[in-house]
Amino acid sequence: MLFLTAASPFDVSIPDAFLLSLVGFSVVFLALMALIGVIKLINAVTGGNKQNQPQAPVLAAPAAGNAPAAPVPVAGKGSMVPAVGSEGDIDLYTVEDQTAALLMAIVADDLKAPLNTLRFISIREVK
């Protein structure tokens, strides 16, 4: 032995180590796959998640040059329905995408609220 451990029950041969690892990795997989089943069962009982919405990015992909991002049409704009994930659109006036993203992150951090629970309608630079 290289280290402090005395020979004895603490010794594990390399083949045994492989076997233990295989069993251990399988146990983790089986446990988490069983939990997937548990989640599906809970969802089935409680009516869990029913809809699968297409992704609507918070901001559209950066347009060429400094042009403001094109608004993404979303029916729920300005409504009281909580935003889900990155749902919704935002009107940008003389504010670049990156600046807008930064401002939204700062506001969420200041309010200590997840970004997806906030809804931003528009951002305008005040001069």
Instruction: Give the footprint of other proteins on this chain (CB under 8 A).
Output: 1-6, 9-14, 17-18, 20-25, 27-29, 31-36, 38-40, 42-43, 45-62, 84-87, 114, 116
Give whichever of 110 and 126 is closer to other proteins, judged by the CB atom. 110
Contacts of 73 (CB under 8 A, 6+ apart): 89
Two structure tokens written together for 127 = 């001069």
In the complex, least distance from residue 117 CB atom to other proteins, rounded to whole angstroms = 10
H or E segment to which residue 122 belongs: strand 122-124
CB-based contact 57:72 (threshold 8 Å): yes
In the complex, least distance from residue 72 CB atom to other proteins, rounded to whole angstroms = 11
